[in-house]
Structure 1
């Protein structure tokens, strides 16, 4: 199909190399086919297996349409024109592929994948690495008027309708976890507690997670494993202690500098237009964030090579 060739010929369309897309087809193709077969066998049939109308949009095209939608926020109407199908077909395809991408988790060295916050803490405890933690807000559609809980999505910091995701990266800014999505009005520290971070860190020792001032208070609950910047010192007599203030500001600057990679990691996530501003249903955002994080780590872990041919896949 012409749309398939166009998407595969230009990396900027999906943000992924041909090698990464080929691996996605080989990994998710059988999973998608097994789910479809299970749905067909789950109800009484009047036709033999394999009979009836065939898919106009085969699995490879469904995957490519989903990747373009996530990368550039292309509407389903435009994608339907590209692939010469109905808009509802694209909507159904994205709804099928997005959860499969989300369930893959974030890829780390050795090809291992971290799917939950518990996996991340276990990995950090086993390897002794230092992690970086922050929360990021994604602007979402405003709930309809006169609906209960409408104000829950208004961010106290940016004063926009948003949802907040917890992001954990390594020291180089590569995502290890991205999820635990909550309404935008929740505080950063409350989101971390609700995610079970305090309980997870209770079973570890000598593990460090650098966080910003929004998480001050977790250090005491996690025995110093969550490290936050020193609190700002205030007082009318502090101007006479210039050496103390200079030391204090130097410590805050050093902590901020060590946390910069997590900001870069969040920026890479926001390069995918589906996360720059989320235009679809709010309940789809958790899967969207996890899918983008997994795809980003796939691309970061794959060396640049020459273009590869896509493997065969069931229709």
Structure 2
């Protein structure tokens, strides 16, 4: 069991090639694949209680920040067009991440096609409905939502240039929004989310949610549990 758990976690943390792990453990590549796919749901189920209580956080008015990150994928046939991001210039999925202003990850949403802008992704992932009536911070990609966004040129009448107040507000917002970038970096330390995903495409949502629970568990063990 220890070796099987090591194989599964190694694949998630380092995105190691299955052939290499098979060689190191003296088994075949199909055996490594079977072990990984058997252990993944067990790990996720075992860590189910590590999920932060987002509803309790919302009720007590926790200040939250949202941002999207991409998980690169191969040119899977069903997703050649829908998952191509013109902005990122690669095939990927868009994952919305919610953190507190201190950088503690709170929620990792279900992935949506990489072609979706953050404005559409927050709706399709269900986060816009979840956060309705709750103050939260976002970047310019979340215009049209209830998120507190930076000012942009063209919003002011006349010249359309940002006034001193707008620039000061944007600077202050940027200083706060570093927290969500920090939260995203924790998830991206699991290389299967940072490098091109080579696994079965329809299993990716489960992989992402398992990574989320592992990271919540890791932060909890370090004393940063919500």
Q: TM-score range by the shorter chain?
A: 0.7 to 0.9
Q: 1:214 aligns with which of 141, 144, 153?
A: 141
> What TM-score do the two structures reach when normalised by structure 1?
0.64
Aligned mates of 1:73, 1:248 — CA distance in 2: 43
Whether contact under 8 Å (2:112, 2:124) holds in the other structure is no
> What TM-score do the two structures reach when normalised by structure 2?
0.87
Q: 1:298 aligns with which of 214, 217, 221?
A: 217
Mapped pair 1:245 → 2:163? yes
How far did residue 72 of structure 1 move? Answer: 0.9
Partner of 1:230: 151
Q: 2:39 aligns with which of 97, 100, 103?
A: 97
Whether contact under 8 Å (1:105, 1:293) holds in the other structure is no
| Secondary structure at the counterpart of residue 142 of structure 1 | coil
Partner of 2:98: 168
Q: 2:14 aligns with which of 66, 69, 72?
A: 72
Partner of 2:81: 151
Partner of 2:201: 282
Instruction: Specify whether residues 131 and 153 from structure 1 end up closer, same or farther in structure 2 by C-alpha distance, changes over 3 A only.
Output: same
Q: Which deviates the most, 69-78 or 95-104?
A: 95-104
Partner of 1:88: 30
Whether contact under 8 Å (2:76, 2:201) holds in the other structure is no
Residues 188-221 of structure 1: per-residue CA shift (max 9 Å, x gap)? 111111222343344xx5x3221111111012xx
Q: 1:259 aligns with which of 174, 177, 190?
A: 177
Q: 1:139 aligns with which of 50, 60, 72?
A: 72
Task: Supply the RMSD in Å over aligned alpha carbons.
Answer: 2.4
Please say which structure displays the higher CA radius of gyration: 1
Partner of 1:124: 57
- The count of aligned residue pairs is 221
How far did residue 262 of structure 1 move? Answer: 0.6
Residues 220-250 of structure 1: per-residue CA shift (max 9 Å, x gap)? xxxxxx22222333689538x8xx6121111
Whether contact under 8 Å (1:238, 1:245) holds in the other structure is no
Aligned mates of 1:87, 1:217 — CA distance in 2: 48
Unaligned runs of at least 5 residues, structure 2: none
